[in-house]
Amino acid sequence: MKTTVHALLFDVFGTVVDWRGSLIKNLEAFGQKHTITADWSGLVDAWQSEAHGQLVEQIRERTLPWHPLDDVHRLALQEVLPRYGLVGLTDAEVTWIHRLWHRLEPWPDTLAGLSRLKQHYSVSAFSNGNVALLVDMARHARLSWDMIFGADLFNHYKPDAEFYLRACTLLGHEPEQVMVCAAHNDDLQAASELGLRTAFIQRPMEKGPGGPFESPTGSWDLIASDLQDLADQLGPEIIDYR
């Protein structure tokens, strides 16, 4: 059977925006302004790991009740701040830090790549972020999504199957008409098992210069060096990849 791709679902953190670089840059500026010295990159890595690793997994396993990602970030931040010696911050300062996730910056190729892809495909955010966070981020970074699928629409975090299948249904497409684009193998693995198409986006700088990064480990439909390369490979027409 000939099938065609109609819709692209983009993982956001790491694939579309440079969460780590953006957070560190803003926290370093915060430190300079308030003359606070800290291991900002260590804090950011611990914060992300605690939130997107530990807490999201506990919610997926239902050992923790549902919390949208903004709440997860807040819980993780309160856990991580004292570990990095940040104990005297005001509520307003903690809130300012917490909200940095709403103002992440895109990778250099993101805006041009999404703009080209949008000419021929519907292009949606497909993220564990909550809708409010993703709307703020899109307005800040000028990401013009056709639709935003935030995890709090469904109270399911990726890679829960429900999230992938509900997005396909809401877009009115069969899974094989939808391609998940992500820099993370676990996201594409879930997509692939459910019959969606997969594009691995290489983001060697996600964890910073010299940091660890994921290489494609599955037989994904496409492997792209960035979103411009993805637009080159997908081309101007809806193409059959099987």
Which residue's CB is nearer to a copy of itself, number 27 or number 134? 134
Q: Which residues, including other chains, have CB under 8 Å from residue 170's CB and lie 6 or more apart? A: 147, 149
What minimum distance in Å lies between the beta carbon of 146 and a copy of itself? 5
Task: Calculate the CA 236 to chain-centre distance.
Answer: 25
Mark residues 126-155: x for contact with a copy of itself by CB under 8 A, - for none: ----xxxx-xx-xx----x-xxx-x-xx--
Whole-angstrom Cα distance, residue 232 to residue 227? 9
What minimum distance in Å lies between the beta carbon of 229 and a copy of itself? 24
Which residue's CB is nearer to a copy of itself, number 38 or number 153? 153
∠ CA 133-134-140 to the nearest 5 degrees?
90
Which residue's CB is nearer to a copy of itself, number 152 or number 221? 152
Whole-angstrom Cα distance, residue 56 to residue 152? 12
Q: Which residues, including other chains, have CB under 8 Å from residue 192's CB and lie 6 or more apart? A: 198, 218, 220
Bridge partner list, 201:
224
Which of residues 18, 45, 50, 70 is near a copy of itself by CB under 8 A? 70
Mark residues 169-188: x for contact with a copy of itself by CB under 8 A, - for none: -xxxx---------------
Q: Contact positions toward a copy of itself, by CB under 8 A? A: 70, 122, 124, 130-133, 135-136, 138-139, 144, 146-148, 150, 152-153, 170-173
